[in-house]
Amino acid sequence: MITTAIRVARVGSAAELAAAVLMMLGYPCLMLAALVPSVPAFAAATAVTYLADHYLHRKGSYLINRLSKVRAGLSIRFLIRQLLLILLLARLDLSDSLVFYGATACFIAFYGLQAPHGALVTLIRNRRRMPVATRNVDLASRIRIPDAPPQGLLNRSAEKMLHIDLAAVVGILLAAELDSAPVGFAGIGITLALGSLYVLALMPYVRGANIPPNATKVLSAVDDWLGEYKPETVLYFSGSKDSAYQVNMWLETMEQLDSRPLVILRERVILQNLAPTTVPVICVPGGVHLMNMDLSTVRVTLYAANVGKNIHMLRVPTMKHVFIGHGDSDKLASVNPYSKVYDEVWTAGRAGRDRYAIADVGVRDEDIVEVGRPQLAPIQTWQGAAEGREGSRGGAADGPCPTVLYAPTWEGWDDNPGNTSIVLAGENIVKKLVKADPPVRVLYKPHPFTGTVSAQASAAHRRITALVEKAATQRAADPRFTTDAAAHEQAKAELARIEARIAELVGKGGEKGDEAEATRDGVVDVKKHEEIARLRAEWNDTYWRSFPAWEHRVIAGAEPRLYDCFNVSDAMVSDISSVVSDFIASGKPYAVTDSAEVGAEEFKRQNTAVRAAVILSNSAVELGALLDAVRDPAADPLAEDRKELKQYLLGPDEPPSIEQFDTAVANLAIKAETRNAGQEARMAVGAVVDAGEVDAGAAEAATEAAEAQAELMNAVPAPGSPSAAGEADGVTAG
């Protein structure tokens, strides 16, 4: 019942629900205490409303936002409390007293201060909102960006200003209870003085040297930097806050390119959620600003998502445009008809090429280039069964304890039962895994969006979590499983040390007052960046040593990362998504759930990535075949199929994918240069003809020469193209 109430109220926990109920009941209680009248009761209800309101604000409760939509926002709630205090004074027969007049005048004057306070805060924020925000771009040497106001002045400013009335409310209540007017006027004086000081403290930040440069100067400084840096390859991205992972997955690849990289973002919220990187980043929310930006040296632009704002870059003819996506799977998103607007579409392996051919959405085969998946480099290839992998021994008396990762995807935006296994099959999968004999260790890592759309998926996730945690508790009490408690405690201590050091490095000069200050000072410290990367790798290794290798775990946060879970697992169960394609890089056994129950053969026909998988029905009765393959290589009939499928989906291991990717960038840059040279030649000939200096025949010959040069340069084979690599062996698209 409490869970249902939490969901209906759109709060995050039982504590938030309790605070919301107390706040809602507090105001009727204030009314009753004022009418009775009772100062102690009014004081108690006042304290409850203050504390509950503050708690909900600190938690960022969804309910607070909803209240403002129904005209019960923060200012209204404070005003109601103050009006009820005036009513209390009247009911106490104090309407002719100086305290009554003082309280009325105080609250009117206090609300008079709200207007200049709000106006100043808004003006400061607007003036400090940069037309272009950057990271790793040196603007400080070109324009002067002043320090941000102290965060104490701007952070939650409306809430802080309104709470200044607390002194007056307390003073007036004491005056009413003690019949002492001086106490009341003391509280009133404190409130008005503090409110006035708050307004005065904001005024210097809207004058003189504290005002950042205007948009024209900022954009000019960015163009000056671009002219000096001369970016050649751009990673372009637009999306919502939740889609930041789609650009984050490409940052390391951009860092490794031989050409000069640049990341262009379109939403400030993406910049705020961008992973640390050494690549220069420019966030340009305005389409007009982007289209006026000097990107004349850019030759290749990479797009990680098909979104409307891509048009602002696609309109530039001097660069070549490439769709690289944010994952490789058999979902419809992998063959979006929008993709035909790009000059090329890059896929991991031959499978991506065949998907477009089968889908027939207008993407030409000659425009598809196979470049592998550079992001998969951290995934370790399988070394055999569990006993062949260091650290996998579980401490069970009957031998090693293999690890099986259950990594279902989320429910999606529609009601398609094939989207995720979590609703219909998840509990069956986990129950069979935790009861397996010989035993296995279960890692449950759900998609971060799980339960955001479907209440059924959310409920199933909670039940699966409870199953895993209960099984972990039972296993810990099982005498068959032993543990080295001292070693685990030592690892936990080491984990705390690493986390403290990472927090110190991340926090040291990293948290800026606002966007303008972050732009000014947001040049990465390369040494610190490298140390953080090293510490994160050390953290991952230590994390897995901090608990027994047989212990079941729910891994719901960002760390450890999915690929780290791949590396400590011997097998995986998942759904149709890029997770499956990525896991295939490991060569380990895997199972995929046919949640829509179309049948194993049809499921394999529809989804290339499952053709070397154990196909599970919603009952998960087929899990035994997966566990047999993990425990005994001789009982793994799909091993060779996985090798062939890996090359078909992800391309060859040699040369490394990053080299294939970099070569594709270089080849396409040559095509862009050739196209631009041809255009310049045509324009030059046209200008000469217009001037009457040569005849039309000579102009036509020059134009034909330019076109011949372009054809020659465009004939350069790209990595993964049929002309470069020939027909791929292995699994076909049939």
Amino acid present at 246: Q
Q: What is the pLDDT of residue 732?
A: 36
Fold: same for 215-376 and 386-483+548-650: yes
CATH architecture designation of domain 215-376:
3-Layer(aba) Sandwich (3.40)
Whether the model pTM is above 0.85: no
Which portions of the chain are predicted below pLDDT 70?
A: 1-12, 329-333, 384-399, 508-513, 688-734
Token pair 């005056």 is found at: 175
Sheet strands side by side (includes 403-407): 553-554, 441-444, 403-407, 571-574, 590-593, 614-616
Residues 6+ apart with CB under 8 A from 306: 323, 333, 336, 338, 339
- Return the pLDDT at 389: 41
Distance CA 158, CA 114 (A): 8
- Residue 585's Cα: distance from chain center in Å? 24
Quickly tell me which residue has 């660069």 as its tokens.
319
Contact 75, 114 (CB under 8 A): yes
Q: What residues pair up with 616 in beta bridges, in sequence order? A: 593
Output the DSSP codes for 431-489. Answer: HHHHT-SS--EEEE---TTTTSS-HHHHHHHHHHHHHHHHHHHHHHT-TTB---HHHHH
* Of the options 1.10.150.650, 1.20.120.450, 3.40.50.2000, 3.40.50.10240, the CATH number for the domain spanning 386-483+548-650: 3.40.50.2000
Percent of the chain with pLDDT over 90: 62
Which CA distances in Å does 309 have to 246, 249, 283, 285?
16, 20, 13, 10
CA 615/CA 626 separation, integer angstroms = 9
pLDDT score for 89: 95
In the chain, where the domains are located: 2-130+142-210, 215-376, 386-483+548-650, 485-547, 660-725
